[in-house]
Amino acid sequence: MPLDERIITEAIFDEYALKFKSSLDLDVAIVGGGPSGLTAARLLAADGFNVALFERKLSLGGGMWGGGMLYNIIVVQEESVHLLTDVGIPVKRYKDNYFTADAVTATTALAAAACLAGAKVFNCLSVEDVVLREVDGAKQVTGLVVNSSPVEMAGLHVDPIVLGCKYLVEATGHAVEVLKTLVRKNDVKLNTPSGKIEGEQSMWAEVAETNTVTNTREIFPGVYVAGMAANASFGSYRMGPIFGGMLLSGEKVAADIAKKLRG
């Protein structure tokens, strides 16, 4: 079979255009491809919603690749094990309520499962802003503003492009980037005690893990927080290299948004 390089190029353009154009009116836009974002993307896409995940880096997985301090094993607790085994990740019990998994296997399998479930993943795209509109007399996030990560990294003055979404999941981890931008640029009040981002506290794994799930909720009309961003938003603790709370947070945000979308 002769190969025509121009057709290879054309295939990339055509298929990427299809993928992008089918993402202009998303049910859910997930920002951040760490464990919470990937789990949410898989479950919402499996439920049949139009879902896209935006990740600044070339690779998905966020903070999960390196386990703890680059010892690439992750630890999860029993109640979250199903979110690994459901996508074929082998786990080993360690003492009572601890389970371990290989960090590389877990990261790649969570990413593959999200893609195979139908979530459209846009890697190397950074979300730099949101679209804020007045809907029924109240301000609401109705879209996201994205730019190519290399443009962002090089500091080039290139304007971004925009996609619409019914819900945006802020899953950018410790940085809480999207919410920070929303609060910095607009006169808005979040659904937190101070109306602002409360900020992350120091290590307390047990409380942090529970809080990661309870803090996973709608923090502003159209915006849910998940994963580490949920704890940083509501002033809770960090937990170190235990990832069960991140997976459970992804599961919770998916269930909550699915319920809203179904009305």
Residues of span 32-71 touching ligand 48H by CB under 6 A: 32-37, 54-57, 62-64
Cα separations (Å) of 178 from 1, 74, 210, 233, 254? 48, 27, 23, 11, 19
Give CA–CA dist 130/135, Å, rounded. 15
Give CA–CA dist 247/227, Å, rounded. 8
- Binding site for glycine, residues? 238
Amino acid (one-letter) located at 8: I
Answer for which of 158, 175, 194, 206 binds ligand 48H (CB under 6 A) is 175
Answer for which of 42, 51, 169, 173 binds ligand 48H (CB under 6 A) is 173
Give CA–CA dist 261/263, Å, rounded. 5
Amino acid (one-letter) located at 222: G
Amino acid (one-letter) located at 41: A
Residues of span 101-130 touching ligand 48H by CB under 6 A: 126-127
- Closest to ligand 48H by CB, 27 or 177: 177
Please give the size of the binding site for ligand 48H, defined by CB under 6 A: 30
The structure tokens 């299809």 sit at 18
Residues of span 226-245 touching ligand 48H by CB under 6 A: 227-229, 238-240, 243
Cβ(61)–Cβ(243) under 8 Å? no
Stretch that binds ligand 48H, among 77-85, 93-101, 105-113, 173-181 (CB under 6 A): 173-181
- Binding residues (CB under 6 A) for ligand 48H: these are 31-37, 54-57, 62-64, 126-127, 171-175, 177, 227-229, 238-240, 243, 246
